[in-house]
Structures are given as structure tokens and as C-alpha cells.
Amino acid sequence: MKRELGIARCGLACCLCTENPECNGCGSNGCPDNDSCENKKCSIAKGLTHCYECEEDCRKGLLSKIKPYTFSLFAKKYGEEKLLDCLERNEKNGVVYHREGINGDYDDFDDVEQLMNFILTGAR
């Protein structure tokens, strides 16, 4: 885990991403969607560093997918540090963020509450 990379604006876990080893997190030149990211553009326009800081219940851009949406909700509810702590603990216990391409253990959910509980406990 590269904890210093933290959480992307949309909620994805840059700290666990293995898509591009040269990437330095959300907004860096290594991010494949840096120039076209709807969530980045929106949060910058609102003066926010992350979507979880917004009061709207937004499902635009990457927030239309359950993983970043739930990660954002988790950070809104518990804080980014708690999210990072849980992700780090889960990784140490064998939970894989990217198993095949960009899909991993956090992608096996279609229910926000179940994924939220999985982040909290690391157990299905």
C-alpha cells in the first residue's frame, strides 16, 4: 500500500491501485483519466479536494460505479483516515484491490451497505 497516494477525488483508492506503477495518484500525469475526469472537474469547480466533501448525493462520472461511490460514502461517514486504515488492514489480511485488471475483491458487491460493511470488517 502506498498510503501517501491516499484516496482519489472520486473515492477510488490510489493508495492500492496497481494499474500504472508510475502514477502518483489522482491528478498526476500517470492517471489515465486525468484530463477528462468528470469528478475532478466538478470538485475543482466547487473548490473541493474530494467528492465526499460535497453535500450532494452525486452519481456522476466514476460515482456511477459502486466501488468509488461506496468509498466516497465511507469517507464522508467515517473520514478518509479511517478508510485508509481499513483498506490497509484488509490488504494485510489478503483482500485484493486489483485482482484481474482493475477488478478485485471490492468489486464483488452490488449493495452499498454490504460493501461498506466489507470495508469496515474485511469479512463477507
Q: Distance between CA atoms of 43 and 28, rounded to whole angstroms? A: 16
In the chain, which ranges are continuous DSSP H helix?
38-45, 66-78, 80-92, 112-121
Q: Which residues contact residue 102 at a Cβ distance below 8 angstroms, ignoring those fewer than 6 apart? A: 17, 19
| Cell 491501485, residue located | 17
Within 13 Å and on the Cβ side, how many CA atoms surround 118? 22
Amino acid at 81: E
CA 42/CA 23 separation, integer angstroms: 22
Q: What is the pLDDT along the chain (124 residues), one digit of tens a residue?
A: 999 999 999 999 999 988 877 888 777 766 777 778 899 999 999 999 999 999 999 999 999 999 999 999 999 999 999 999 999 999 999 999 988 888 899 999 999 999 999 999 999 8
Q: Are the CB atoms for 68 and 104 separated by under 8 Å?
A: no
